[in-house]
């Protein structure tokens, strides 16, 4: 399949109307790095750092992590890599950490909650990232931020780590970009100041959808019950997009849905300008995107919503068939 899309690999990710949609890849393992040049990805929109922790049987050391992150940045050759700090808990349990028995792990002590309550590992990781950057630009994003104070506290940890490195006389990153993942509806409805304070927001659609519909992403019985193209979900995303646009906050979408062509097209049509997906999805998404006029897709989405359709999928599918896209 990858070969099928090779012919468009170096063509711009532009819709027929000329709108550019940045297509980035999700990664986490060293084995993902060769995909960076071959997929046509503009950068790494989500680097899941916990994968490196999950494949080991003991906690990695700072120097080891730092060398690893440096290799990722080397492979990216100046392209942006958004390093997401450790996202553990819920479905991701480290074999060498005391498991905690929680009635609802997805709603429990996970991701940034662990990072802020027991900051040792987060601090080590931030230091490793700063050292890996070694004077290059650094992008960090914090997972599962549910309210503004969590972002502020996490950012304060990063600022402290930068200050420590400065005192030690080590090189600081050329630039530091700090973002939050929007994975709970609460963050979308947070005060405007959040949108001003973050350097960027990235929608973690897998978790966001799970919490929006109260449907466990791990539960086969319910995980496909609600359509991502449900008008309520799109309306929520639309207000996030509108507020990001009002404040000039860069926004991306990095859940699995970004890699499904029809979903990606609709996300672009409602205003997402950056999508991050598994590398193999970039070709199919770009292929569809290049054939479509986003304005026409958007009009069909708005009509479907106004008509009271539950999902815009039938209307969009019909448009694609009618136009031969
Ligand atoms: C998400 O929740 O959409 C996301 C990108 O993070 P993960 O799938 O790793 O939870
Ligand atoms: Mg998530």
Predicted confidence at residue 1, as pLDDT, reads 58
Asked if residue 101 has pLDDT above 90, the reply is no
Nearest protein CA to atom 4 of ligand 1, as residue: 204
Task: Compute the average pLDDT of residues 252-265.
Answer: 98
The span from the CA of 93 to the CA of 109, in Å, is 11
How far, in Å, from the CA of 324 to the mean position of ligand 2? 35
Query: What pLDDT band is residue 98 in, cutting at 50, 70 and 90?
Result: confident
Predicted confidence at residue 291, as pLDDT, reads 97
Task: Compute the average pLDDT of residues 41-60.
Answer: 96
How far, in Å, from the CA of 205 to the mean position of ligand 2? 7
Predicted confidence at residue 5, as pLDDT, reads 86
Asked if residue 246 has pLDDT above 90, the reply is yes
183 lines ligand 1 (CB under 6 A): yes
Predicted confidence at residue 99, as pLDDT, reads 77
* Summary mean pLDDT of the chain: 96
Asked if residue 2 has pLDDT above 80, the reply is no
What lies within 8 Å, CB to CB, of 49 at 6+ separation is 28, 83, 84, 85, 86, 87, 125
The pLDDT > 70 percentage for the chain reads 99
255 lines ligand 1 (CB under 6 A): yes
Residues β-bridged to residue 47: 27, 83
DSSP class per residue in 138-205: EEEEES---SHHHHHHHHHHHHHHHHHHHHTTPPPPS-EEEEEEE-SHHHHTS-HHHHHH-SEEEE-H
Closest ligand 1 atom to residue 256 Cα is 3
Helix %, strand %, coil % for the chain, to 5? 50, 15, 35
Predicted confidence at residue 148, as pLDDT, reads 98
Q: Is the dihedral of CA 24, 196, 238, 149 positive or negative?
A: positive
The secondary structure element, H or E, covering residue 46 is: strand 44-48
Per-residue pLDDT tens for 285-319? Answer: 999 999 999 999 999 999 999 999 999 999 999 99
Q: Does residue 83 contact residue 141 with C-beta atoms inside 8 Å?
A: yes
Residue closest to 20 by CA, chosen among 204, 220, 289: 289
Asked if residue 258 has pLDDT above 90, the reply is yes
254 lines ligand 1 (CB under 6 A): yes
Q: What is the pTM of this model?
A: 0.97
How far, in Å, from the CA of 170 to the mean position of ligand 1? 33
46 lines ligand 1 (CB under 6 A): yes
The secondary structure element, H or E, covering residue 251 is: strand 251-253
Task: Compute the average pLDDT of residues 125-129.
Answer: 98
CA angle 238, 294, 267 (to 5 degrees): 40
Per-residue pLDDT tens for 15-35? Answer: 999 999 999 999 999 999 999
How far, in Å, from the CA of 88 to the mean position of ligand 2? 10
Query: What pLDDT band is residue 6 in, cutting at 50, 70 and 90?
Result: confident
The pairing of strands 81-84 and 176-182 is unpaired
Predicted confidence at residue 93, as pLDDT, reads 84
């Amino acid at each position: 399949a990858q070969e099928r899309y090779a012919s468009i690999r170096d063509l711009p990710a532009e819709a027929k109307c000329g709108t550019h949609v940045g297509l980035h890849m999700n990664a986490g393992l060293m084995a993902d790095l060769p995909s960076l040049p071959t997929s046509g990805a503009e950068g790494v929109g989500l680097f899941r750092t916990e994968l490196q922790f999950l494949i080991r049987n003991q906690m990695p050391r700072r120097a080891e992590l730092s060398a690893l992150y440096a290799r990722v940045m080397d492979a990216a050759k100046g392209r942006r890599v958004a390093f997401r700090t450790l996202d553990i808990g819920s479905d991701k349990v480290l074999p060498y950490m005391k498991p905690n028995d929680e009635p609802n792990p997805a709603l429990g002590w996970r991701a940034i909650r662990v990072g802020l309550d027991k900051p040792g590992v987060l601090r080590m990781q931030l230091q490793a990232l700063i050292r890996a950057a070694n004077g290059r630009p650094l992008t960090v994003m914090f997972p599962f931020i549910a309210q503004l104070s969590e972002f502020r506290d996490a950012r304060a940890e990063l600022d402290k780590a930068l200050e420590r490195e400065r005192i030690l006389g080590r090189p600081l990153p050329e630039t530091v970009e700090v973002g939050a993942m929007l994975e709970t509806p609460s963050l979308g409805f947070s005060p405007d100041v959040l949108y001003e304070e973050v350097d960027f927001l990235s929608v973690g659609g897998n978790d966001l959808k799970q919490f929006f519909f109260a449907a466990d992403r791990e539960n086969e019985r319910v995980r496909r019950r609600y359509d991502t193209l449900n008008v309520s979900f799109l309306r929520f995303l639309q207000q996030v997009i509108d507020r990001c646009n009002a404040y000039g906050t860069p926004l991306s979408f990095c859940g699995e849905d970004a890699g499904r062509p029809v979903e990606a097209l609709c996300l672009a049509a409602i205003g997402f300008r950056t999508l991050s997906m598994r590398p193999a999805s970039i070709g199919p998404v770009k292929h569809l995107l290049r054939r479509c006029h986003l304005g026409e897709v958007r009009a069909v989405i708005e009509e479907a919503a106004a008509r009271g359709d539950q999902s815009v999928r039938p209307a969009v599918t019909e448009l694609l068939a009618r136009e031969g896209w």
